[in-house]
Amino acid sequence: MRNRRRTVKPPESILIVCIRLIGDVILTTPLIGLLKEAYPEAAIDILVGKGTGEFLEKDPRVRRVLYSEKGGKGYFREIFRRYDLAINMNASDRGNSAVLFAGRRQRVGFYLGRSFWKDVWKRLFFTHSLEFQENIPVARYCELVADALSIPGKRLQVKVFWDATDESKVSAILKGHNCATPFFVVHPFARWIYKYWKFDRFAAVSDAIAERYGLQPVWTSSPAAEEKRLLNEAADLCRTRPVLIAGELTLNQMTCLISRAAFYLGLDTAVTHLAASTGIPMVALYGPTFTSRWFPWHNDGDPAQGSPETRGVLQRGNIVVLQKDLECVPCGKAGCDDGGDAESPCLAAIGVDEVLMAVGLLLKDEAVARSVIEEKMKHV
């Protein structure tokens, strides 16, 4: 069934629905920019899950952020038939139902294309129904929506805003730690254990960067008590004591902090997508995750960009992702036990020297670095 395209009055009110995790919400921000450019007078609201989109409250392009709590449907009353254009950024029934409730004239949503009967209501009641593509970068769903609406989608920009209050807090924290020299940020945490790398290896890399490049290490964590405890334990392994910023920053403030850094090192996590949005040199370590979908978005790259390769040493601009070049990688599972509670052997197999070679690709012109690291990544 083809989408019904017709000339319509520009929308005065728009709802974007992204009831997913923080990374998905961050990678939805290019659509806000495309819509604001196409419809500058339109009011744009965002519906997200509680705890995933609060950073959007600082986005000057957004009028209001609405929150969906698990099991709750109170937001339906707030959105019912209130928007000229409503868009769901994934194929979930929950988000698509919200779009059907909210959209008066135009309703955009994705369907999985696996079952006619499960998809038929989406294809019938949406004005623009899009088949969900599982092998493209998540940010490019913004491009698919723009194309469906016949608005320009030539430039996709992941953008997280911060204000003067955020800048003042970041400055005060750095000043309080006497961090006046150029610094780099290490964020050694992710949502799930299977995305973790050994803390002693983070410490070794941190020490080497500090010594080779004269940069002050700054290590960060979320406010979670366990992460704060582990952050202190990991820092004790370092020769060059890092500045510890343990759960003190919002995502907006974290983005501000990273934007001031000379370099970022992290894992497959939302903070890595924040780092990519700032444009600083960065290295991220990935395990079983599909980089075809989750490679950090390069704002200055081609809008049609994908992961440069399937695995190994992956570089786009000043972003390098390391993923072990093993036949089973990527598997897309939550670690080998598929439960997420154990470290992934493919991630644990990445060595300190390999990471330092990747750092060298960005912070120093090492002619042999790429060939050496590519060879190393082929072997456990």
Query: pLDDT category, 306, cuts 50, 70, 90?
Result: confident
Is 4 a member of any domain? no
* Residue after which a domain boundary falls, among 116, 148, 180: 148
Together in a domain, 143 and 168: no
Please state which of the ranges 24-38, 218-232, 305-319 shows the lowest mean pLDDT. Answer: 305-319
Is 158 a member of any domain? no
Burial class (CB in 10 A: 0-12, 13-18, 19+), 107: buried
How much is the average pLDDT of 234-240?
A: 96
Together in a domain, 107 and 61: yes
The pLDDT value recorded for residue 138 is 95
pLDDT digits (tens, 9 = 90+) for 118-163: 777 777 788 998 988 888 999 999 999 999 999 987 789 999 999 9
Angstrom distance (rounded) from CA 40 to CA 327: 48
Angstrom distance (rounded) from CA 20 to CA 148: 22
Mean pLDDT (the chain, rounded)? 89
Q: Which residues make beta-bridge pairs with 130?
A: 110
- Cα 183 to chain centroid, rounded: 22
At residue 102, does pLDDT exceed 70? yes
In sequence order, the 6+-apart residues with CB closer than 8 A to the CB of 18 are 24, 25, 28, 46, 47, 48, 53, 88, 89, 90, 95
The pLDDT value recorded for residue 69 is 78
Beginning with the edge strand found earlier in the chain, give each strand of the sheet holding 128-131 in spatial order.
Answer: 64-68, 43-49, 13-18, 83-88, 103-111, 128-131
How many folded domains does the chain comprise?
Answer: 2
Give 241's DSSP letter: P
- Cα 164 to chain centroid, rounded: 24
Is 155 a member of any domain? no
Together in a domain, 178 and 83: no
Is 52 a member of any domain? yes
Q: pLDDT higher for 375 or 69?
A: 69
In sequence order, the 6+-apart residues with CB closer than 8 A to the CB of 374 are 312, 313, 325
* Residue after which a domain boundary falls, among 123, 148, 173: 148
At residue 1, does pLDDT exceed 50? no
At residue 339, does pLDDT exceed 60? yes
In sequence order, the 6+-apart residues with CB closer than 8 A to the CB of 22 are 51, 52, 53, 251, 270
Whether residue 131 contacts residue 222, with contact meaning beta carbons closer than 8 Å, is answered with no
Is 364 a member of any domain? yes
Angstrom distance (rounded) from CA 150 to CA 117: 28
Is 357 a member of any domain? yes
pLDDT digits (tens, 9 = 90+) for 19-42: 999 999 999 999 999 999 999 999
pLDDT digits (tens, 9 = 90+) for 245-285: 999 999 999 999 999 999 999 999 999 999 999 999 999 99
- What CA–CA distances, in Å, run from 133 to 17, 79, 127, 137? 18, 27, 19, 9
Together in a domain, 249 and 372: yes
pLDDT digits (tens, 9 = 90+) for 190-200: 989 999 999 99
Which of 238, 277, 227, 285 shows the shortest CA–CA distance to 257? 277
Query: Domain containing 55: what range?
Result: 13-148
Together in a domain, 131 and 189: no
Together in a domain, 237 and 329: yes
Is 109 a member of any domain? yes
Angstrom distance (rounded) from CA 248 to CA 220: 9
Tokens of 115: 């079952």
Tokens of 297: 């978005």
Angstrom distance (rounded) from CA 150 to CA 366: 45
Angstrom distance (rounded) from CA 377 to CA 350: 7
At residue 2, does pLDDT exceed 50? no
What angle (nearest 5°) sits at the alpha carbon of residue 127, between those of residues 122 and 128? 80
How much is the average pLDDT of 171-188?
A: 93
Together in a domain, 137 and 49: yes
